[in-house]
Amino acid sequence: MIKRSPFFWMMLLLAVMLMHCEKKSAINISGYTPTPPTSALEIDRDNLKTAGSFLPGYESGNIRSDRITINWSPVNAADFSSYRVFRNEVLLATINDRQLSSYTDSIGLTPNTFYTYKLSLLTPQGLSTADTILLKTPQWDPPAKPGGQVLGASASAIRIFWTNQAEAINRFNIYRKLSNEPLSSFFLIGTSTDTTFTDDISIVGGAVYDYRISAANDFESTGFSEVLTFEATYTMTSPTLSGITQQQASRAVRIEWDDNASGEDGFRIWRRDEQGIYAVIDTASTNSAHYLDNDTTSSLVLGTTYTYAVSAFDATNESLLSNPLTLTIGVPSSFDGFSDSFEQPPGSEWQFISSAPEGRIIPSPLGANSGQQMLLMDVSQDGVVNLNHAILRLDLSEISNTQSVVLSFFYNTFDDEVSPLEELVDISSDGVNWETVFIMTASPFVWTEAMINLQDFIATQPYSANYHIRFQQQDNFPFPTDGIGIDDVSVQLNQ
């Protein structure tokens, strides 16, 4: 018997095992899905509000006219790689520090603009979770149209006033210098929380002062308004009427004048009929220079001659009447239509009414149907229930009831939860008795055209000199969570 070594027997066993092994094919891997982290990534919304509601984002300074700061809670994912911050789908930053939880964007931001921010979490295997928020920088223009008024015959105080053109502010800063001093001499004389300020700081009668105003909050200020130059001299001189015209396609009369007073609270508008009787028909505010007499329902009769005059007044004094101007009401030209795409500030044909102070009806560049602007109707603060009415008033008295007048417009409900009781179009011949002629149905983020023939309602709402078209909207959150857009409104004769 031949004795074999242990190595021999080991090799023999291995050969036998190999003889019994089957040939195996490669595994075909068709896909792989990494396990996402258990922690959700979420932008901190306690310090931000979306779509035009600036509080508390402006109270914390996280939303400004030229910078936005977003915050989040650090994630606990074991396979963390990085955070990535995007603006309008463009990568702004890659953050490799897991504990870092804030990013400030200050590159190329402009006021009054919407931006979409996305915060994503990247793992070694790929993108696993993200959060997106829509934010808007505020309108941030300097105050406009500064004006002044000398208070009292002693001229020891000057009231100045202006128009606000900025959002999310909490004060105005007022600066003054003597008119003959250089620009560097302007100094802060006070602040105001509204658009008026009374300067009674060492005013010298007869001196000429320059004023300028900026709007501000706790984090930034706008630029300065144009300079208001004003003399501290009290006068109550009569205005000078410079023009009187009958409006096209209407019996309404527009009068214009030069303001020759420095201390008026306003102006009284006087109209004299053919019997020679003057009566005050209305008042106009301080520094006004025109007035539209639209009393075509009870007065302003065709073929009748009217004489107008204007006086300036304050609490204790009134000027003499201005020079009179006379006009005879002629037959208006045929109605040549109305259109408004809201590229310019709404004219006197419009009246905007909100049930709550937070209601908003404003031209807005947030996604117009055509051009750059639409009419936005919403509420500026979360949770405030508000009813908006945008009322268009037209003189249709010269149109025969046999003629078709077509109202057309585009509307977009964005994300508003419309209902038959909230988004309507009503008409009225007198502004008192209303009839619903159209209900705006849901059209989320899509512009929809509506056309209504007003002649279809002639039996109950005949054409009149005081014809009303009312767009109604109700909501309780800001755009675009709520709110609607109206654009390209047109009222035309259907020839």
pLDDT band at residue 150 under the 50/70/90 scheme: very high
Mean pLDDT of 55-78: 86
Same fold, 240-328 and 338-494: no
Mind listing the pLDDT tens digit for each residue in 86-102?
999 999 999 999 899 99
Higher pLDDT residue, 412 or 104? 104
Question: Taking 80 as the threshold, does the pLDDT of residue 401 lie above it?
Answer: no
Residue 308 φ then ψ, to 5°: -115, 150
* Residue 30 in tokens: 């068709």
pLDDT band at residue 26 under the 50/70/90 scheme: low
* Residue 486 in tokens: 């109206």
Give the fold, CATH level 3, of 39-138: Immunoglobulin-like (2.60.40)
3-state secondary structure of 456: helix
pLDDT band at residue 442 under the 50/70/90 scheme: confident
pLDDT band at residue 122 under the 50/70/90 scheme: confident
C-alpha 35/C-alpha 10 separation (Å) is: 45
Q: Is the dihedral of CA 170, 214, 290, 259 positive or negative?
A: positive
Question: Taking 60 as the threshold, does the pLDDT of residue 140 lie above it?
Answer: yes
Q: Which CATH number fits domain 240-328: 2.60.40.10, 3.30.590.20, 2.60.260.20, 3.40.50.720?
A: 2.60.40.10
The whole-number pLDDT of residue 277 equals: 87
Nearest to 382 by CA among 488, 482, 451, 292: 482
Residue 397 φ then ψ, to 5°: -70, -20
As a whole-number percent, the residues of the chain with pLDDT over 90 amount to 58
227: DSSP letter? P
Range of weakest confidence among 34-43, 198-207, 211-220, 294-303: 34-43
C-alpha 407/C-alpha 21 separation (Å) is: 86
What residues contact 83, with CB distance under 8 A and at least 6 apart? 41, 72, 94, 95, 100, 119, 120, 121, 122
Are residues 160 and 232 in contact, defined by beta-carbon separation less than 8 angstroms?
no
C-alpha 394/C-alpha 399 separation (Å) is: 12
- Angle value at C-alpha 129, between 124 and 135, nearest 5 degrees: 130
The whole-number pLDDT of residue 294 equals: 84
Nearest to 273 by CA among 244, 245, 227, 305: 305
User: In CATH, what number does 338-494 get?
Assistant: 2.60.120.260
Higher pLDDT residue, 2 or 473? 473
The whole-number pLDDT of residue 74 equals: 87
Check residue 275 and give left, alpha or beta (phi > 0: left; psi -120 to 50: alpha): alpha
Question: Taking 60 as the threshold, does the pLDDT of residue 18 lie above it?
Answer: no
Q: Does domain 144-231 fall into CATH 2.60.40.10?
A: yes
The whole-number pLDDT of residue 1 equals: 47
Domain ranges of the chain: 39-138, 144-231, 240-328, 338-494
pLDDT band at residue 383 under the 50/70/90 scheme: confident
Average predicted confidence (pLDDT) for the chain: 87
Residues counted in the chain: 495
Mean pLDDT of 400-416: 85
pLDDT band at residue 416 under the 50/70/90 scheme: low
Question: Taking 60 as the threshold, does the pLDDT of residue 14 lie above it?
Answer: no
Report pTM. Answer: 0.62
Nearest to 48 by CA among 117, 148, 147: 117
The whole-number pLDDT of residue 334 equals: 66
46: DSSP letter? T
